[in-house]
Amino acid sequence: MPKEKIVVVDDDEYMREGLVETLDSPEFSVVSFDNAAAALDEISDGSASILLTDLRMPEMDGMELLAQVKRLDPKLPVVMMTAFATIETAVEAMKKGAFDYIMKPFKAEEIDVVVTKALEYRRLVAENEYLRKELGKKFSLSDFIGDCAEMKGLFEKIRQIAPSTATVFIRGESGTGKELVARAIHSQSPRRDKPMVRVNCAALSAGVLESELFGHERGAFTGADKRRIGRFEMADGGTIFLDEVSEMDLALQGKLLRVLQEKEFERVGSSETISANVRILASSNRDMEKAIEEGSFRQDLYYRLNVVNVELIPLRRRKGDIRALVKHFIEKYNREEGSRVKGISDEALAMLENYDWPGNVRELENIIERAIVLGTGERIETGNISAGLEKVPGRPQEKGAATFEPRPLEDVEREHVMLMLSYNQDHRQQTAQALGISERSLRDRLNRWREAGLIE
Ligand SMILES: Nc1ncnc2c1ncn2[C@@H]1O[C@H](COP(=O)(O)OP(=O)(O)OP(=O)(O)O)[C@@H](O)[C@H]1O
Ligand SMILES: [Mg+2]
pLDDT at 137: 53
- Atom 8 of ligand 1: nearest residue by CA position: 177
Residue 295, class by beta-carbon neighbours within 10 Å (0-12 exposed, 13-18 middle, 19+ buried)? exposed
Give the Cα separation of 103 and 81 in Å (integer): 6
Cα of 178 to ligand 1 centre, how many Å? 6
Q: Got the DSSP string for 126-168?
A: HHHHHHHHHHHHH--GGGS---SHHHHHHHHHHHHHTTS---E
- Ligand closest in space to the Cα of 174: 1
Give the Cα separation of 259 and 244 in Å (integer): 18
Cα of 324 to ligand 1 centre, how many Å? 15
Cα of 181 to ligand 1 centre, how many Å? 9
CA angle 87, 91, 93 (to 5 degrees): 110
H or E element in which residue 343 lies: strand 343-344
- Atom 29 of ligand 1: nearest residue by CA position: 362
> In this structure, are residues 23 and 32 in contact, taking their beta carbons and an 8 Å threshold?
no
Cα of 174 to ligand 1 centre, how many Å? 8
CA 259 vs. chain centroid, Å, equals 17
Give the CA distances from residue 377 to residues 339, 349, 354, 383, 447, in Å, rounded to whole numbers and listed in that order. 10, 16, 23, 11, 64
Cβ neighbours for 188, distance < 8 A, ≥ 6 positions apart? 141, 158, 159, 162, 163
- SS3 breakdown of the chain: % helix, strand, coil, rounded to 5? 50, 15, 35
- Atom 18 of ligand 1: nearest residue by CA position: 177
CA 141 vs. chain centroid, Å, equals 15
- Name the 3-class secondary structure at 397: coil
Q: Which residues are registered as beta bridge partners of 31? A: 7
- Tell me the whole-structure pTM to 2 decimals: 0.61
Cis preceding linkage at 406, omega within 30: no
Closest listed residue to residue 254, CA positions, set 221, 291, 302: 302
Give the number of the atom of ligand 1 that is nearest the alpha carbon of residue 285.
25
Cα of 182 to ligand 2 centre, how many Å? 9
Region 409-451: CATH code: 1.10.10
Query: What homologous superfamily does CATH list for 172-313?
Result: P-loop containing nucleotide triphosphate hydrolases (3.40.50.300)
Give the Cα separation of 238 and 160 in Å (integer): 18
Phi and psi angles of residue 363, each rounded to the nearest 5 degrees, phi first: -65, -40
For residue 394, the 8-state DSSP code is P
Give the CA distances from residue 16 to residues 38, 81, 152, 285, 427, in Å, rounded to whole numbers and listed in that order. 14, 11, 63, 65, 53
H or E element in which residue 417 lies: helix 409-423
Tens-of-pLDDT digits for all 456 residues of the chain? 568 899 999 999 999 999 999 998 888 899 999 999 999 999 988 889 999 999 989 889 999 999 999 988 888 999 999 876 567 887 888 888 899 989 888 898 899 989 988 988 887 777 677 666 655 556 677 889 998 999 999 999 999 999 999 999 999 999 999 999 999 999 999 998 888 888 989 887 878 888 889 988 887 777 666 677 888 988 889 999 999 999 999 989 998 999 888 888 888 888 888 888 999 999 999 999 999 999 999 999 999 999 999 999 999 999 999 999 999 999 999 998 889 999 999 999 999 999 999 999 999 999 999 999 888 789 999 989 988 775 544 444 343 343 345 677 888 888 888 878 876 778 888 889 888 888 988 999 999 988 888 887
Give the CA distances from residue 330 to residues 144, 174, 323, 342, in Å, rounded to whole numbers and listed in that order. 14, 22, 11, 8
CA 376 vs. chain centroid, Å, equals 40
- Atom 30 of ligand 1: nearest residue by CA position: 177
Do 4-135 and 409-451 have matching folds?
Answer: no
C-alpha count within 13 angstroms, C-beta hemisphere, residue 321: 24
Give the number of the atom of ligand 1 that is nearest the alpha carbon of residue 176.
21
Q: Which residues line ligand 1 (CB under 6 A)?
A: 143-146, 172, 174-180, 285, 325, 328, 361-362, 365
pLDDT at 399: 38
Strand 100-103 versus strand 78-82 pairing type: parallel
Cβ neighbours for 28, distance < 8 A, ≥ 6 positions apart? 3, 4, 5, 6, 115
Cβ neighbours for 297, distance < 8 A, ≥ 6 positions apart? 246, 253, 288, 291
- Atom 7 of ligand 1: nearest residue by CA position: 177
pLDDT at 130: 62
CA angle 5, 11, 12 (to 5 degrees): 95
Any idea where the domains of the chain sit in the sequence? 4-135, 172-313, 316-391, 409-451
Among 168, 321, 365, which residue has the most ligand 1 atoms within 8 Å of its CB, making it the best to mutate? 365
Angle between helices 360-374 and 382-391 (to 10 degrees): 140
- Ligand closest in space to the Cα of 360: 1
Fold of 4-135: Rossmann fold (3.40.50)
- Atom 1 of ligand 1: nearest residue by CA position: 145
pLDDT at 65: 95
Fold of 316-391: Helicase, Ruva Protein; domain 3 (1.10.8)
pLDDT at 397: 39
Alpha helices in 286-404 (DSSP H): 288-293, 299-305, 322-337, 346-353, 360-374, 382-391
- Ligand closest in space to the Cα of 178: 1
- Ligand closest in space to the Cα of 243: 2
